[in-house]
Amino acid sequence: MTTIDNGTQEAAGKVPPRYACGETFVPKSRYIDPEFLKLELDRLFTQVWQPACREEEIPEPGNYYEYTIGRQSIMVVRQKDASIKAFYNACTHRGMKVVRGTGCAADGELRCEFHGWRYAFDGRSSFVPSRDEFLNRPREQWSLRPVAVGTWGGWVFVSMAEDPPDLLDWLDPLPTALAPFRLQDMRFRWRKRTFLPANYKTVIDAFIEGYHTPGTHPQTLRATQGPRPSTEPAPPQEFVYAPYTPTIPYRNHSRFIYTARPDSGDKDSARKEQAARPEVFANSMQYNYLEVRSLATERDYRVAQQLATMEPSDVPPFVLYHQMCEELALAEGVDFPKMTMEQYFAGNGDWHVFPTLVILVEKSCILGYRMLPDAEDPNQCVFEMFSLEHFAPGEVPETSWLEFERWQDHDGWGELPTQDLRNIGAIHAGMHSKGFDGLWLNTAQEMSIRNEHAIADRFIFGVDDRADDGAVGA
């Protein structure tokens, strides 16, 4: 038996009815109950690997990054030998945070500002004023307490678990599928942070399915109109141009891809016909650069402008585009990732790197999001959005996190992300309605959302409802 914090006894291995999902239903309590947030913070976030920062954020020995998840603060520190260690960010004297934010430790040591205790970068206690006045303290309790750390794709991952699984096993199948893209060699083009009035999962869910595309982003159905099409709501008949974006649930993560319906027949023909025209495909790529500010780089944009002037040929426009982007990038000194179209399609798309990271992967760049829960309030979260890119040597721009108290305080999100951001507050507010019980999900294009709850149930309630068949909805 496990005691849940409201004092009720819950049978281990069983999800309490108020939090139990159906095959395609998720109760809203998982998004709005403070108690559920507490369960997530206590049982999920203390167990799973999660990205703390990018390696490029701590380039030099002594550089540190403070990662905050709920009430836990973890410091990630670059070592003298360039390796990385992580520690609970609590001085072993009286618990004060040793570092705050990001920075570089002066004098080759980390220093607590309260009584001046010092630690080497590897966490060992290096200076305690009046040390002989701490005679009772066992030797092994002086050092900073370590947290498991690992790297993949240029991210530094941390886990508070005592005995975490191998990081690459946990991330499966991302390391294999994304190896050709060499995410670890990408660097920030830009990065922004704000705070949203919604549960962190409300925000994640808005970025891990493509079913909302025609409803929220109607301009993406209208590439025939040019690089900046109308954003008027789409009438029902226009939904034939909607992309088909099935979700693929994995053991620990999810993904959705853009593809054709298996039984499409004529249904996708309108869309396919358009995609065969170079200027229509090129318009979409130009739109990405202009109004998503990612998914296409400035270099890709120039390629798209050229592609828009070309006549249709036997080579599909997207194949031409990829060839031209690669040629131009190589010509301009970029160590562009080489891969077959098969490898591209195996990694391209939108990945939910459970629990906090979402990445949309292209060859030249990726668009990323990270959503972090608030420590107390299920109706608040941190939202980060960034673009990473393969740069030519010497061309990596200086960037830092641009932080906005409200997303409305910044007008540079781009048209498409702005449409998503405008939805968020209303989605979460609507969930509180007495007339709303929970989410009814699309069985083909929203199973990423169902999967995130199935993964969470393993950690929170010890329930593994996919033990037999591998994955929900697979």
Which region among 284-292, 294-302, 380-388, 419-427 touches Fe ion (by CB under 5 A)?
419-427
Neighbours of 409 (CB within 10 A): 9
The DSSP-derived string for 55-107 is: GGGS-STTEEEEEEETTEEEEEEE-TTS-EEEEES--TTT---S--SEEE-GG
- Nearer to ligand FES by Cβ, of 93 and 453: the residue is 93
Q: What angle do CA 217, 423, 448 make, to 5 degrees?
A: 75
CB of 95 to ligand FES, least distance (A): 6
What does each C-alpha distance from 270 to 144, 167, 243, 284, 320 come to in angstroms? 61, 43, 11, 16, 21
In the complex, least distance from residue 128 CB atom to ligand FES, rounded to whole angstroms: 8
Closest CB 357 distance from Fe ion, rounded Å: 16
The conformation of residue 291, written as its DSSP 8-state character, comes to I
Whether the CB-CB separation of 204 and 72 falls below 8 Å is answered with no
* Residue least distant from Fe ion (Cβ): 420
Nearest distance from residue 127's CB to ligand FES, in Å?
10
- The residue (of 136 and 340) whose beta carbon lies closer to ligand FES is 136
The answer to whether 332 and 392 are in contact (CB under 8 A) is: yes
Report the interhelical angle of 317-331 vs 298-307 (nearest 10°). 130
How far, CA to CA in Å, does 107 sit from each of 98, 265, 281?
15, 68, 55
State which residue, 147 or 234, has the beta carbon closest to Fe ion: 234
Bridge partner list, 385 = 192, 369
Q: Is 406 in the site for ligand FES (CB under 6 A)?
A: no
| Residues in region 289-348 near Fe ion by CB under 5 A | none
137 touches, from Fe ion, ligand FES, none (C-beta below 5 to 8 Å by class): none
Q: Shortest gap between Cβ of 116 and ligand FES (angstroms)?
A: 6
Stretch 322-341 residues interacting with ligand FES (CB under 6 A)? none
Nearer to ligand FES, 96 or 392 (CB): 96
Query: CA-CA distances (angstroms) from residue 399 to 195, 388, 396?
Result: 20, 11, 9
> Which stretches within 370-446 are classed as H helix?
415-431
Interface with Fe ion, residue 452, by CB under 5 A = no
Q: Tell me if 108 sits within 8 A of 122, measured CB to CB.
A: no
Q: Between 68 and 258, name the residue whose CB sits nearer to Fe ion.
A: 258
Contacted by 91, from ligand FES, Fe ion, none: CB < 5 to 8 Å by type: ligand FES
CA 362 – CA 129 distance, rounded (Å): 53
Mapped onto helix, strand or coil, the DSSP state of residue 209 is coil
> Are 76 and 86 a contacting pair, CB within 8 Å?
yes
Binding mask 47-86 for ligand FES (x = CB under 6 A): ----------------------------------------
Q: Which does 420 bind (CB under 5 to 8 A by kind): Fe ion, ligand FES, none?
A: Fe ion
Q: Give min distance, CB of 67 to ligand FES, in A.
A: 20
- In the bound state with ligand FES, the residue whose beta carbon lies nearer, of 14 and 115, is 115
Minimum gap (Å) between residue 100 Cβ and ligand FES: 13
Nearest residue (CB) to ligand FES, 99 versus 460: 99
How far, rounded to the nearest angstrom, does the alpha carbon of residue 434 sit from its chain's CA centroid? 31
Count CB atoms within 10 A of the CB of residue 279.
Answer: 19
Residue 420 binds to Fe ion (criterion: CB under 5 A):
yes
Residues of this chain, 434-473, that bind ligand FES according to CB under 6 A: none
Judged by beta carbon, residue 111 or residue 187, the one nearer ligand FES is 111
**CA 410, CA 418: separation in Å to the nearest integer?**
10
Residues between 87 and 116 with contacts to ligand FES, criterion CB under 6 A:
91, 93-94, 96, 112, 114-116
Helices 278-287, 317-331: crossing angle, 10 deg rounding: 50
Task: State the binding partner of 94 from ligand FES, Fe ion, none, CB within 5 to 8 A by kind.
Answer: ligand FES
Contact 285, 364 (CB under 8 A): no
Closest CB to ligand FES among residues 145, 272: 145
Per DSSP, the three-state class of 370 is strand
Q: Whole-number minimum distance, CB 207 to Fe ion, in Å?
A: 7
| 58 close to 77: Cβ distance less than 8 angstroms | yes
CB of 246: closest distance to ligand FES in angstroms? 52
20 binds, among ligand FES, Fe ion, none (CB under 5 to 8 A by kind): none
- Supply 393's token pair: 């040597």
Nearest distance, CB of residue 114 and ligand FES, angstroms? 4
Side-chain-side CA neighbours of 126 within 13 Å: the count stands at: 13
Size of the site for ligand FES (CB under 6 A): 9
**CB of residue 159 to ligand FES, shortest distance in Å:** 25
Which residues of this chain interact with ligand FES, rule CB under 6 A?
Answer: 91, 93-94, 96, 112, 114-117
Which residues of this chain interact with Fe ion, rule CB under 5 A?
Answer: 420
